[in-house]
Amino acid sequence: MRFPTYLIVSLGLATGACSSISDSRYNPMNWGQSEDIAATLAPEDGYLVLQDNRNLIAQVTNLTVVNAQGGVIVHATGLPPTQGYFDAELFPRNEEKPEGATLVYEFRVLEPNRQQRVSSEVSREVIVAHFISTAKLRGVNEIKIVAAQNSRSSRAQ
């Protein structure tokens, strides 16, 4: 019973010392070790990039910046050319990184599917708000909202 055990141990040590077998899968010293495989969850074709179909609103008519816990809330009022504009958002330029000392946002809206009435300015107003954290406001002196025909800005407090 001791002879087979000694034989297996001596063969294992002998093949482990051989240079041609040392990196092979037949070497018992390599058993149980995993290969370094770079695992990734990224899709082979890359990530899907969605395009934003929204346009800049015609005008920004009002801008207020209100202090809130952990940052500020930016309220902006825009005026499109007709009624029916929807899905408004203050879309950050440059991934919310300041341009100089200014954070710049574009006031984007989606146009109505069919022709709408012009009516009064009050009935066409689109109001949107956006929270900006204190961390993103570090080093920022001004917040600017851009529209197609104008822009408005507010100094940071």
User: In this predicted structure, what is the pLDDT of residue 34?
Assistant: 63
Helix, strand, or coil (residue 80): coil
Measured CA to CA, the distance from residue 146 to residue 93 in angstroms comes to 10
User: In this predicted structure, what is the pLDDT of residue 31?
Assistant: 73
State the average pLDDT over residues 56-84: 94
With CA atoms as reference, report the closest residue to 98 among 135, 49, 58. 135
13-64 pLDDT, tens digit per residue, is 665 555 566 666 667 776 766 666 667 788 888 888 778 889 999 999 999 9
User: In this predicted structure, what is the pLDDT of residue 15?
Assistant: 59
User: In this predicted structure, what is the pLDDT of residue 156?
Assistant: 63
pTM of the model: 0.67
User: In this predicted structure, what is the pLDDT of residue 89?
Assistant: 94
For the chain, the average pLDDT equals 85
All residues at 6 or more sequence positions from 2 whose CB lies less than 8 Å from its CB, including other chains: none
- Distance between alpha carbon 3 and the CA centroid of its chain, in Å? 66
User: In this predicted structure, what is the pLDDT of residue 17?
Assistant: 58
106-140 pLDDT, tens digit per residue, is 999 999 988 888 888 898 999 999 999 999 999 89
